[in-house]
Structure 1
Amino acid sequence: MTHFQTYTLSNGLRVAAEIDHRCYSAAMGYFVRAGAKDETDRESGLSHFLEHMMFKGTDRRTAADVNRELDELGGNSNAYTSEEQTVYYATVLPKFQDRLVDLLTDMLSPKLDEHEFETERKVILEEIAKYEDQPPFGAFERVMEIYYGPRGLGRRVLGTKESIEATDATSMRNYFHRRYRPEQMVFAATGNVDFERLIETLERQTASWHQRPLPEPPTADDMQSLPAGIALDSHLEIEDAAQAYCVRISRGPSMASEDRYATRILASILGDEGGSRLFWELIDTGRAETATVWPQEFADSGAWFSYLVCERSELESNSKLMQELLMRTADEGVTAEELQQATNKATAACIMQSERPSNRLFSVGSRWLTYGQYVSTDDLLNQFRAIDLTAVSKAANAYLNESSTEVVAAASQVQQLS
């Protein structure tokens, strides 16, 4: 049977584990309260940059050693950075638990070598350039910057070309020592985990973490000016774009909101890839390539996104159709049949995801880092099954009637006509 255990080490590091000895694998990872919203203008992009540097060697391991050992363990490993956290994770056979804990823990004491820093700076700059060359050409970043402002949740996860070029290894070290403190981390584990041994290993291997120096706070941002490389125009002119990419954002539920589950169901009814209202109205009819909506939940706020991709000449009419459909849903609600289908999809997805410890890891770790709360698979299933037409109607009225911020990435009308 599945059971949940938690423990706080003497240095303040929190450990949270969803344990099921019937599983054939174990997933583990460090969840760090270090994301784009925690950065200053001079630090923009450092959370993501640091994620890269964690794989570039420690005092005990070279970069080649880190990657070789991850391969030797035979599981899946990776890392990601978001607006609110950075996560380092892997899935292995239970017999490799000690080796994985040792490797992940060592990685979180990076050498931050100057030469590796300069090499990785080029990689980050290439990543930024590549991303800006691909649809929707930075429209999601721009709409977040306008809606939230270019700082906090609106700050770009990758940073900008200007911020990455201007940063240095000393700034990265200071940021690391300020954010990567044990009291700001959670070690999460799911699956076939030996919890007692895990605690003993972590207590021993992270014993010195509380001794990390605490740098002076960074210089406050000049709130009267925009960060370097940032513009707040609502239109991104893309010379060679064959289609138009329209992104809208408005208020949505946070991770703590009581109606977040009903809002997820509403988004499924409206914007799922197949069988949703927007699919039948705009995609199946050939009007648009993409027409969808979804909620994005953050710790203290949330956003409701709309995304439309179509021919530039059809953007205005399709956008109008999309908005009319959303307003009609807010006024009239959804049908019992639509609710049942969406609930079936959501519960089936929960059950199938719960079969893999690697899938459960992110839910367990993120929620424990953010709120110190545990939500089991049964809790999720009960939340979805309890949703009725009234709850969905309430969510529709709460979020579909909100005024939105819009960004369009497209070639100009003149270019299209020529």
Structure 2
Amino acid sequence: MYRKSTLPNNIRVVSEAIPYVKSVTLGIWIGTGSRSEQQHNHGISHFIEHMIFKGTENRSAKDIAEMVDEVGGQINAFTDKEHTCYYIKVLDTHLELALDVLSDMLLSSKFEQEDINREREVVLEEVHMYEDTPDELVHDLHHNNIWAGHALGRNIIGTVPSIENFNKPLLLEYYQNFYTPDNIVIAAAGNLTHERLVELTNYYFGKMAGNKKQGNPTVPELKPNQTIQSKAIEQVHLCLGTSSVSQLSPDIYTFHIINNILGGGISSRLFQTIREEKGLAYSIYSYQTNYSDAGLFTIYAGTRPSNACQVVELVRQTIFELKNKGITARELTKTKEQLKGNLLLALESSSSRMSRLGKMELTLGKYITLDEVVTNIDKVSLEKVHSITQQMFNPNTLCFTALGPISEEIYDEVKRF
């Protein structure tokens, strides 16, 4: 059962009781990520996430790790473009320990300059490692290609110059601006009671004060173009993208269906044509990236340079066929069942349920039940799918990004879109 409360200091507490499990997953969600950053502090959200694990006034980094390990728990964190999450999964008998540890980390981290200098080297190594992973790097290049000059177009980790600029005053300023009660959601799922969670949360976080720094976020504008970056690697990595919708849009369910049919799984049209029938790529798929006020739809393929032009042409043909012939009633029914099955299977763990709670509260400010999601999926019609595909794959809204050993011929293939 879903429950929500708001503490006197405006921290929101959301929970879902799952009485048949023995675990609890607790997440502290902060409504800030790389989108909140400026050029001079690009990557600071991710860097602070690292620093939160480097010790507090009460515990060393080793103490934190040992406390969680001693009860068989798991602790981690991640930074996204619009939020940061710190989470622990433990047995249900250790819920208070989880809150004790996370509150200490979030409220009493030291941010010592010596630790900052050491962690800077770790993050710089992460940057260089990422540069050596072209099948991941190409997606960041693609976002920057589409949303050039906007914070959503920048990567999460930052750049070498911005990371080298980080110091204690800069980190504390950002922390104080965004790690505030009105910008925090505490989400938990598992074998717990909401009343006990609220009681413990108020004890450990109730004295936290401050207000989030108000900004003026702008909606990114898609800029259709081609970005082709030569790199001496074995494969060419290709991304073709267009606008999608925000997480708030009712059309998001139609986009999910189109994505699933086009490249969302091993039975999708792109996978079957390019990998199974032609053998031209090992990795070929499509995906959606949905934010609070914008979205992207992307097709990705990795292939040998000699196959790149043929892969681009097959992607073009597949999109053309989808636009002009649409989908069948059977395809629509099959895809709806697949989406519903994927959703329900993904929510079998307390971790995934906690994540869903936290994201919804931060982004939507409300909870959408599984029954509502299923109903919305079932409402999607053939006519709606056809209408959206006509809008999506307009040649004037397509962006192309390629990374690797590029031949001149690929320019001509892209122009055919």
AA paired with 1:329?
L
Structure 1 residues 390 and 51: alpha-carbon distance in aligned structure 2, compared to 1, 3 A threshold: same
What's the CA shift for 1:233? 8.2
Verify the 8 A CA contact 2:245 2:293 in the aligned structure 1. no
Alignment equivalent of 1:34, drawn from 32, 35, 56: 32
Alignment equivalent of 1:17, drawn from 1, 15, 18: 15
Q: 1-side partners of 2:134 and 2:145: how far apart?
A: 19
What's the CA shift for 1:47? 0.4
- Are 2:106 and 1:121 equivalent residues in the alignment? no
What's the CA shift for 1:346? 1.3
Counterpart of 1:393 in structure 2 is 386
Q: 2-side partners of 1:162 and 1:329: how far apart?
A: 44
- In the TM superposition, 1:34-183 aligns within 5 A as 34-109=32-107, 110-136=109-135, 138-183=137-182
Map Cα deviations across residues 281-339 of structure 1 (whole Å, 9 max, x no partner): 11111122222212111000111111121121222232122022112202221112222
Alignment equivalent of 1:356, drawn from 349, 356, 380: 349
Q: 1-side partners of 2:21 and 2:300: how far apart?
A: 38
* Range 294-303 or range 284-293, more displaced: 284-293
Map Cα deviations across residues 52-82 of structure 1 (whole Å, 9 max, x no partner): 1111111111101111112123233321111
Q: 2-side partners of 1:164 and 1:382: how far apart?
A: 46
Q: Which runs of 5+ in 1 are unaligned?
A: 219-231
AA paired with 2:253?
Y
Structure 1 residues 137 and 6: alpha-carbon distance in aligned structure 2, compared to 1, 3 A threshold: closer
Counterpart of 2:188 in structure 1 is 189
Paired-residue identity, %? 28
Counterpart of 2:239 in structure 1 is 247
- In the TM superposition, 1:232-381 aligns within 5 A as 234-239=227-232, 241-284=233-276, 285-381=278-374
Alignment equivalent of 1:410, drawn from 379, 404, 410: 404
Q: After the TM superposition, list the runs of 4 or more consecutive aligned residues in structure 1 that deviate by more than 3 angstroms.
A: none
Q: 1-side partners of 2:375 and 2:84: how far apart?
A: 29
Verify the 8 A CA contact 2:228 2:406 in the aligned structure 1. no
Verify the 8 A CA contact 1:58 1:107 in the aligned structure 2. yes
What's the CA shift for 1:234? 1.5
What's the CA shift for 1:152? 1.6
What's the CA shift for 1:24? 2.3
Q: Which runs of 5+ in 2 are unaligned?
A: 216-224, 409-417
Q: 2-side partners of 1:398 and 1:87: how far apart?
A: 34
* SS state at 2:135 partner: coil
What's the CA shift for 1:211? 5.3
AA paired with 1:279?
F
What's the CA shift for 1:366? 0.6
Counterpart of 1:203 in structure 2 is 202
Query: TM-score normalised to the size of structure 2?
Result: 0.90
* SS state at 2:203 partner: helix
Alignment RMSD, CA only? 2.1
Counterpart of 1:223 in structure 2 is none
* Range 10-19 or range 296-305, more displaced: 10-19
AA paired with 1:69?
M
Structure 1 residues 299 and 288: alpha-carbon distance in aligned structure 2, compared to 1, 3 A threshold: same
Q: 1-side partners of 2:79 and 2:51: how far apart?
A: 13
* SS state at 1:234 partner: strand
What's the CA shift for 1:5? 1.1
Map Cα deviations across residues 110-167 of structure 1 (whole Å, 9 max, x no partner): 1111111111101100000001011226221122112112432112100011111122
**Number of aligned residues:** 397
Structure 1 residues 351 and 412: alpha-carbon distance in aligned structure 2, compared to 1, 3 A threshold: closer
* SS state at 1:258 partner: coil
Counterpart of 1:225 in structure 2 is none
Verify the 8 A CA contact 1:327 1:401 in the aligned structure 2. no
